[in-house]
Amino acid sequence: MFSIVQENISTSPASTKGPVKYGELIVLGCNGSLPSGDKGRRKSRFSLCRRNKANGVKPSTIHTSCTPQAAKIGRSTESPIDFVVTDTVPGGQTHADSQTVQSTISRFACRIICQRNPPYSARIYAAGFDSSKNIFLGEKAAKWRMHDGQMDGLTTNGVLVMHPHKGFSQDSKPGLWREMSVCGNVFTLRETRSAQQRGKMVDSESNELVDGSLIDLCGATLLWRTAEGLAHTPTVKHLEALRQELNAGRPQCPVGFNTLAFPSLRRKDVLDEKQPWAYLRCGHVHGYHGWGGRREPEVEAECQERECPMCRARGPYVPLWLGCEAAFYVDAEPPTHAFVPCGHVCSEKTAVYWSQILLPHGTHAFHAACPFCILPLGEESGCVRLIFQSPLD
């Protein structure tokens, strides 16, 4: 697998439409691009395409007494690594941006092997091969010998996968989180993320990814979208059309009576004077105003609660931002709901779906989060229906 921008990509002999694409991996919390921009192998989404020549590696010699000092420890610059993922911080940042503590993501976190012919199934395995075609597991990582004599194991912090029920669509429902082994076997979760005792093997389940599968690497979570699934997903152009249609309705602030407008998708993080704001307890949409407070907009965004002048409900008062990553949408309906408390806006079924998914957090916790910024959702309600006021004229 590798990006479509790289060389030696195999195209279908029966087609001239370009490379054979298996699917894409999209990093949750990036909303269309990394905060510092997509560069090289470090990006917010990665396309998996068929190579001219298969590069799969088969099991061979097993070293049972290898130490960290004796092994060649790989870095993210090594050539076998196709896609570099850094820890995602809630709010749309990465640890690389905020220069925080050491990453909890393994250097060779996982590998995905794709079938070169239709139906192009993709299977995920824990750990990856370094430039010497070796897999190295840390001293504390769980490992064991199977009945056939082959070794299997888990990475230190694990590779967790969740397959949704009914694919990735309006009818999707979250599945159960499982852990994948080096050989692709499926296990129930360990007691804690890095516990040495593995879970129970689940023979009835597979390591084959489906459209909408989530992959958690203990620091970053990836969404797998198949090429077929992406073909039925709204495009960025469609999201832009929905934005323009929403603005064409000329929603108005019920306090200042000024017309509101969502900024362009290119200005997704810049506060605009026409920016819609909302009280997330009730969903009433306003422009920014100082009613009930005299703070600046930038300070207001950090404020916990304000009272809505329309219904007196108290709750977060935040600017609204359109969700720009089209791959996170389960349908192509208009943006009518906002996640609480971040204010990212998307379609109703998209908001409801992600509000139901509990993402791994820390060593053994799970919580729902906005897919666009990975900020944890409110305990009472993960999303709210927005109430826009039409112009009086």
321-342 pLDDT, tens digit each = 999 999 999 999 999 999 999 9
Whole-angstrom CA distances from 286 to 32, 171, 177, 256, 381 are 26, 32, 39, 8, 20
**14 pLDDT band (50/70/90 cuts)?**
very low
**62 pLDDT band (50/70/90 cuts)?**
low
- The span from the CA of 178 to the CA of 164, in Å, is 12
CA 64 to chain CA centroid, Å, is 36
Q: Strands 110-114 and 21-27: what pairing?
A: unpaired
Mean local confidence (pLDDT), 316-324: 93
pTM (predicted TM-score): 0.85
Between 341 and 54, the higher pLDDT residue = 341
Instruction: Of 107-111, 276-280, 335-339, 359-363, give the lowest mean pLDDT range.
Output: 107-111
- Digit-coded pLDDT (tens) for 249-264: 999 998 888 999 998 8
Mean local confidence (pLDDT), 67-83: 54
- Digit-coded pLDDT (tens) for 185-232: 999 999 999 899 999 999 999 999 999 999 999 889 999 999 999 999
Please report the DSSP string for 244-299 in residue order: HHHHHT--B-TTT-PBP-PPPGGGTTS--TT--EEETTT-BEE----TT----HHH
Q: Which secondary-structure segment (H or E) carries 152?
A: strand 151-153
Q: What share of the chain is helix, strand, coil (3-state, %, to 5)?
A: 10, 25, 65
**308 pLDDT band (50/70/90 cuts)?**
very high
**244 pLDDT band (50/70/90 cuts)?**
very high
**Residues contacting 307, CB < 8 A, separation 6+:** 292, 313, 314
* Amino acid (one-letter) located at 178: R
- Digit-coded pLDDT (tens) for 275-307: 999 999 999 999 998 766 545 666 655 666 889
